[in-house]
Chain A
Amino acid sequence: MSAILYELRASYAFVERNLNLVKRYMGWEIVWFAYSLASALSITYIGAAMERISGADVNTDYLVLYLLIGTLVWRFLSILFNDISEMIQWERWEGTIEYTLMAPIHRLTHMVGQTLFAILHGALFTLGIAVIIILFFDVSLEGANVLGALLVLLAGSFSFIGLGIMASVLPLLFPERGAQMTNVVQALLLLFSGVYYPVEVLPGWMEAIARVSPATYVLVNIRAALLQGEPTRSLLPIIVLLSLAGVILTFVGLWVFRQAELYAKRTGRLKRNG
């Protein structure tokens, strides 16, 4: 019990530290929020303008909600991915990486703390954007299965945690270019996962890749729940599959991180400036 308490306290160290960092870098947080809000609004307005752009009869409400789901889900998942994948980069930049990695805690404890913060950060940030966007559009969730959508999002989050842990090794292996590489991974996830369009419109080879991205299934099923009112019972198989994929990806991520940490310790790459 005391061992669990010890690890929980250590996990909380990351939550508290990151909340303090958010507080101290509040200016950047506001800038990022404004940028994300402007981006989300711009994308959603494409839906509102589609009838005028195409000159055809379009179900505007459906399209607006379709794009809104994409932008909000992507905002949440990308914050989750960012906060986890950039944990090494932040510490390298601040010069604290060696101090954190020589602390007597398990890497799982480290990741749990970072993940709890990422979920909290992503949820508050996305909720803030959602509340403001709803003021601009007449969004109706009548007949939508909100609970089912949230369950799908929660299950899908685990996969992004695993992917984030795997991407976080890039700055460990490549001190100079690792951070840029994590951004490329994130951009590819955005492109291949059907955030703003069905993956069927992609060329065959891209669609094949989209089929292995967990985000594809998260988005398709959240849209099914919110746009078609798909009942939770029929969403259960995908929720179970996404959770299972999340657990596997998280443990693979932890294993990959352990190997990268050992490699960095053998080659002396933990040092502050690489």
Chain B
Amino acid sequence: MEAVGYVCPTAFYIEEDIYTGRLTMTPVKPDAAVLVEHISKTFHQGEAGSFIGRLRGQHPAREVQALRDVSFQVARGEIFGILGPNGSGKSTLIRVLSTLIIPDTGRALVFGHDVVKEDMVVKRLINRVSVEASFFKKLSPIENLMYGARLYGLTGKEARERILDILRRLGLRESSFDQPMEEMSRGMQQKVAIARAFLTSPILLLLDEPTTGLDPRSKKEVQQLILSLRDQHDATIILCTHDMEEAESLCDRIAILDEGRIVALDTPDGLKRLVGGPSVSMEDVFLALTGKHLDEEGEAVAPTQPA
């Protein structure tokens, strides 16, 4: 078949037969920003799962299957949501992509580079914002960001200029630039965490519940920042959340993760169609696909039984 092809934003390579006009869709490989294939991860918890316990040949007290045969692709420039309750495996998946956890089986590629075998290359392409703003609490935003900038090879002058520019753009008061992070609100801390991610210009940004615990205003501001990062910096974003509204409003596609498995993956509208139609809410979608509700803290709760 003689064909012309192009990459569409939904991570499929579409080929059109120039004689018949017939379209064929194949999953994108070379142009995928992220390719995850059959990733599984089990953790061993409890004393017998410790290093000494293993040396003694003891069996682990408890096994937790965090990820079970997870596969998906993310296209360049896409905001890809991972929606699931606490303990569903979202953070483990982000840690695998961040080179912080080695999967038991399967592989994950970031722009074609294996996260285990080519971790140093992958580290240059990514940055991560996690639910807890990971900072030296006594250091100021400038001192924390300077540390981050130098780790990514920026000179002191270059870093300082960029830091001041980003912090001003994020709307941080100049008086807070030199105050310890521990004296700032969580919303402000999270903005600094996003500034740290902006600073290194990642082409893949991994966001692990960046708005959890924020007040509505800070949440809105952080969400705006996420959109501007995609639009202005051409970044691909993977966003883990248990906030249905956030997932629906920000993400091009959403994977629903439950007990380590992807139970559905589609656009928000596609997911709604799957369980009823455009009038259903994401809560309905989640309930229909997992049999669970999510409370505000992201804990899965069983649906109320009729009397």
Binding site for B on A (CB under 8 A): 6, 9-10, 12-13, 16-17, 20-21, 24-25, 94-96, 98-106, 173-174, 262-263, 265-268, 270-272
Contact = CB atoms under 8 A, between A and B. Distances in A.
A95 B120 contact: no
Contacts of A12: 150
B112 interface: no
B134 A103 contact: no
Contacts of B123: 102-104
A268 B137 contact: no
Nearest to B196: A99
A94 B150 contact: no
B258 interface: no
Contacts of B95: 98, 268, 270-271
Interface in B138-153: 138-139, 143, 146-148, 150-153
Contacts, number: 96
A9 B135 CA distance: 20
B92 A104 contact: no
A16 B150 contact: yes
Interface string B125-165: 01010101011111100010011101111110000000000
Interface stretch (B98-106, B226-234, B262-270, B292-300): B98-106
B102 A265 contact: yes
A263 to B, nearest CB: 7
B102 A103 contact: no
A104 B101 contact: no
Contacts of B153: 6, 9-10
Contacts of A98: 95, 98, 100, 128, 130, 134
A104 B50 contact: no
B101 A268 contact: yes
A104 B120 contact: yes
B51 interface: yes
Nearest to B193: A99
Contacts of B147: 13, 16-17, 20
A102 B143 contact: no
